[in-house]
């Protein structure tokens, strides 16, 4: 019974992250259950999407909480966040893919993004990160890089480790060749 529910949520997350408009019938197939069964567990499409969002967010939030971000300098915390997202973010990807933010509780979304914002703000305050860009702006760019990297792992274009390395390299240090900069400076 719980196993069926979990199978449905897993299948929904897999399909909805790549195709937000995947049909209920497809999700039921992917889960290996009948359509009627899916509706018995999730009476509407919306409740299924909310279920996926809750699980996806809970997983990422739990992983952040276990990550001890507050005990690390901001750049190290950013590295940890990146690794966590690449390893635990598969269901969260479905949340990203959902076109309508109303499908998940705004408070929940805040819980998922708050650690990122806090680390970015702390980094700016502590002088670890540049302070010529607003924290909110920097958070948005961080999210963009993370999300793209996450989808590259989901599409099997990269391992989580590769994606972590790439996202960190670009977000923290940028594309410019530091050796070239040193030569000029």
Partner DNA sequence: CCGTCATGAGACACGCATGTCTCATGACGG
Partner DNA sequence: CCGTCATGAGACATGCGTGTCTCATGACGG
Whole-number Å distance between alpha carbons of 114 and 61:
9
When the beta carbons of 2 and 177 are compared against DNA, the nearer one is 2
Q: Which of 19, 43, 66, 101 binds DNA (CB under 7 A)?
A: 43
When the beta carbons of 36 and 184 are compared against DNA, the nearer one is 36
For residue 81, what are the contacts with CB-CB under 8 A and spacing of at least 6? 64, 67, 69, 115, 116, 119, 146
Whole-number Å distance between alpha carbons of 80 and 164:
9
What is the footprint of its own copies within residues 127-166 (CB under 8 A)?
Answer: 127-133, 137-138, 140-145, 147-149, 152, 158, 166
Contact yes or no for 104/95 (Cβ under 8 A):
yes
Q: Which of 10, 30, 35, 87 binds DNA (CB under 7 A)?
A: 35
Q: Is the dihedral of CA 132, 134, 135, 136 positive or negative?
A: negative
Q: Which of 89, 115, 123, 160 binds its own copies (CB under 8 A)?
A: 123
* Closest by Cα among 133, 141, 139, 131 to 175: 141
Q: Which of 18, 19, 46, 141 binds DNA (CB under 7 A)?
A: 46
* Closest by Cα among 136, 126, 63, 52 to 92: 52
Q: Which of 10, 20, 45, 108 binds DNA (CB under 7 A)?
A: 45
In whole angstroms, the minimum distance from the beta carbon of 184 to its own copies comes to 10
Give contact residues for its own copies (rule: CB under 8 A). 19-21, 75, 78, 99, 120, 123, 127-133, 137-138, 140-145, 147-149, 152, 158, 166-167, 169-180
């Amino acid at each position: 019974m719980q196993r069926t529910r979990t199978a449905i949520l897993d299948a929904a997350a897999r399909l909805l992250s790549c195709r937000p408009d995947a049909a209920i019938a497809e999700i039921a197939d992917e889960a290996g259950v009948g359509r009627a069964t899916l509706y018995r567990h999730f009476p509407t499409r919306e409740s299924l999407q909310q279920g996926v969002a809750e699980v996806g967010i809970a997983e990422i939030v739990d992983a952040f909480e276990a990550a001890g971000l507050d005990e690390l300098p901001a750049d190290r915390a950013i590295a940890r966040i990146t690794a966590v997202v690449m390893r635990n973010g598969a269901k969260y990807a479905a949340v990203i893919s959902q076109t309508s933010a109303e499908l998940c509780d705004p408070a929940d979304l805040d819980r998922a993004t708050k650690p990122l914002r806090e680390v970015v703000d702390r980094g700016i305050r502590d002088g670890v990160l540049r302070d010529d860009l607003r924290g909110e702006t920097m958070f948005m760019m961080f999210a963009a890089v993370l999300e793209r990297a996450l989808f590259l792992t989901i599409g099997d274009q990269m391992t989580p480790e590769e994606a972590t390395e790439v996202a960190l390299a670009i977000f923290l240090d940028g594309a410019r060749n530091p050796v070239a900069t040193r030569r000029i400076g």
